[in-house]
């Protein structure tokens, strides 16, 4: 079973040699590599066009940076295979990892996505991300960050796969809808995961699939105005889009304090006004977001999601 690798690229030429070399180690599992270039001006396109990588590569060239979500969607629409590997350009994949992910995702019909075990590129003894969790405060947390690479060695259910190294079923993407392009970047994978869980699908960690990840390669740093504003806006949209009104009412006090604490956090880092501008944009522009339609048959799934949010909140508060 072949996979379609879909990778957005924006001025990532410095990562591409390692990226392609690692994929070439698993070329027997790869049907195509679709690079969606978001208007790079660093020589990325020339590097791809002028080199042979031993892989079937297709380059989609955008004239401007359309964002992560639209770029991945472009690749998905062009993909020929059932399994879509969404993979960041600043990654190195360990040999054999793609097969491990395919074996796991194909083992059950109700599995929507599988995430690789992401380790820090520059400190490979530490975890970068083994699944994103979400709680009542509307906070997303990278599970396992800075833990030993020897931990999280079992297959486990996760709330959301990080789209930096995740395998998806295209048939379920067609059913759910793809990444919400309004998000541009950040939180689009959590939004997609919630929609999958509403419809009864599961997301799993594949611990035997290893990906080394540089991180913040496009945005440039962990905290900056671009990232803070978009993440704040998209957090508002995730709640508005996916949580039905009764649960919004029940969770209101947690949501209020969640956004308040985040504001105080970013205020201390010098991004308070930027964070508030993102919140305002999320509230004022919410009409551009298509809400996930409530279906009574999914009521039990909403309750399961609420239970998971409660558990995640309790775990956070106990830290």
Q: What is the pLDDT of residues 61-115, one digit of tens each?
A: 999 999 999 999 999 999 999 999 999 999 999 999 999 999 999 999 999 999 9
Q: In this predicted structure, what is the pLDDT of residue 223? A: 82
218, part of any domain: no
Decide which of 161, 184, 213 is a domain's last residue.
213
Please give the model's pTM, rounded to 2 decimal places.
0.94
219, part of any domain: no
Question: Cβ distance 162 to 172 under 8 Å?
Answer: no
| Per-residue tokens: 260 | 């308040």
At residue 306, does pLDDT exceed 60?
Answer: yes
Mean pLDDT value of segment 208-232: 85
What is the rounded CA–CA span in Å between residue 213 and residue 87?
10
* Domain count for the chain: 2
Decide which of 165, 185, 213 is a domain's last residue.
213
At residue 9, does pLDDT exceed 70?
Answer: yes
Same domain, 230 and 201: no
Q: In this predicted structure, what is the pLDDT of residue 1? A: 83
Beta strands in the chain (DSSP E): 3-9, 30-38, 57-62, 83-87, 91-93, 111-120, 123-129, 132-134, 140-142, 156-158, 165-169, 202-213
At residue 189, does pLDDT exceed 70?
Answer: yes
- With a CB cutoff of 8 Å and minimum separation 6, the contacts of 217 are 12, 15, 88, 89, 90
Same domain, 71 and 163: yes
Q: In this predicted structure, what is the pLDDT of residue 217? A: 58
82, part of any domain: yes
Same domain, 275 and 196: no
175, part of any domain: yes
Mean pLDDT value of segment 265-287: 95
- With a CB cutoff of 8 Å and minimum separation 6, the contacts of 141 are 132, 133, 134, 135, 312, 316
Same domain, 155 and 277: no
> Could you list the residue range(s) of the whole structural domain that residue 94 is in?
3-213
Q: In this predicted structure, what is the pLDDT of residue 102? A: 98
Kindly report, residue by residue over 18-41, the tens digit of the pLDDT.
Answer: 999 999 999 999 999 999 999 999
Same domain, 140 and 249: no
Same domain, 112 and 188: yes
Same domain, 139 and 41: yes
What is the rounded CA–CA span in Å between residue 50 and residue 73?
26
151, part of any domain: yes
Same domain, 123 and 168: yes
Mean pLDDT value of segment 304-311: 97
Same domain, 133 and 175: yes
Same domain, 177 and 265: no
Same domain, 142 and 238: no
Decide which of 185, 213, 241 is a domain's last residue.
213
Count CB neighbours of 179 within 10 A: 23
Same domain, 78 and 130: yes
**CATH code, domain carrying 192:** 3.90.550.10
220, part of any domain: no
């Amino acid at each position: 079973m072949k996979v379609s690798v879909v990778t957005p690229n924006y001025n990532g030429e410095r990562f591409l040699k390692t990226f392609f070399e690692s994929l070439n180690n698993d070329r027997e599992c790869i049907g195509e590599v679709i690079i969606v270039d978001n208007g790079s001006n660093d020589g990325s396109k020339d590097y791809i066009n002028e080199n042979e990588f031993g892989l079937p590569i297709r380059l989609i060239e955008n004239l401007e940076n359309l964002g992560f979500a639209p770029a991945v969607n472009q690749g998905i629409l062009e993909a020929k295979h059932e399994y879509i590997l969404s993979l960041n350009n600043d990654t190195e994949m360990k040999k054999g990892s793609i097969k491990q992910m395919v074996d796991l995702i194909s083992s059950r019909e109700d599995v929507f996505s599988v995430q690789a075990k992401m380790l820090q590129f520059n400190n490979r003894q530490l975890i970068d991300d083994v699944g994103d969790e979400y709680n009542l405060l509307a906070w997303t947390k990278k599970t396992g960050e800075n833990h030993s690479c020897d931990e999280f060695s079992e297959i486990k259910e996760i709330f959301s796969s990080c789209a930096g190294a995740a395998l998806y079923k295209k048939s379920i993407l067609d059913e759910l809808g793809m990444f919400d392009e309004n998000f541009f970047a950040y939180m689009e994978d959590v939004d997609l995961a919630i929609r999958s869980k509403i419809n009864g699908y599961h997301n799993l960690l594949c611990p035997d699939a290893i990906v080394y990840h540089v991180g913040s390669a496009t945005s440039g740093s962990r905290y900056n105005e671009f990232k803070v504003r978009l993440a704040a806006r998209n957090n508002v949209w995730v709640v508005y889009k996916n949580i039905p009104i009764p649960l919004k009412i029940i969770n209101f006090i947690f949501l209020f304090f969640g956004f308040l604490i985040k504001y105080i956090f970013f205020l201390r880092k010098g991004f308070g006004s930027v964070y508030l501008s993102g919140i305002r944009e999320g509230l004022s522009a919410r009409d551009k977001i298509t809400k996930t339609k409530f279906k009574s048959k999914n009521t039990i799934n909403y309750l399961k999601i609420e239970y998971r949010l409660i558990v995640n909140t309790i775990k956070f508060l106990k830290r």
